[in-house]
């Protein structure tokens, strides 16, 4: 199948990207921030630097479920014998739920 990438390879690439992002953030944060001290001007530098063209972010707020906290929607779209089948909160309307009732999608303006 053209364009198909095996799940193991996709997961390896995703893990590598997460590690690279974590390392970049680790080097970017000051020693004071690691020590739990306030870092004056950090938000201003962040909004003028890497986030200068970004006005809003979208994020999900989820109630605890039985799967790991960073579970993706894709895990629950697969109806084969996967962890979603065992860990899903419920199966309704042909969909496995990874989290309980009460989740919401939020939008935050970074400048207000």
The answer to whether 90 and 97 have CB atoms below 8 angstroms apart is: yes
Task: Please say if the pLDDT value at position 57 is more than 70.
Answer: yes
pLDDT tens per residue, range 19-33: 655 555 555 566 666
pLDDT tens per residue, range 82-100: 666 777 777 778 777 777 7
Taking the model in full, what pTM does it have?
0.44
Task: Please say if the pLDDT value at position 9 is more than 70.
Answer: no
What pLDDT shows up at residue 109?
Answer: 92
What pLDDT shows up at residue 1?
Answer: 47
Give residue 107's pLDDT band: very low, low, confident or very high (50, 70, 90): very high
Domains of the chain, by residue range, sit at: 1-50, 55-112
Question: Please, what sign has the CA dihedral across residues 16, 68, 109, 25?
Answer: negative
DSSP state of 76: G
């Amino acid at each position: 199948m053209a364009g198909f990438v095996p799940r193991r390879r996709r997961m390896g690439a995703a893990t590598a990207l997460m590690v690279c992002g974590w390392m970049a953030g680790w080097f970017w944060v000051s020693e004071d921030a690691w020590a739990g001290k306030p870092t004056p001007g950090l938000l201003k530098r962040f909004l003028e630097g890497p986030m200068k063209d970004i006005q809003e972010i979208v994020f999900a707020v989820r109630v605890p479920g039985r799967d790991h906290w960073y579970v993706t929607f894709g895990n629950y779209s697969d109806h084969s014998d996967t962890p979603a089948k065992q860990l899903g909160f419920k199966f309704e309307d042909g969909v496995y739920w990874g989290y309980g009732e009460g989740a919401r999608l939020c939008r935050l303006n970074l400048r207000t």
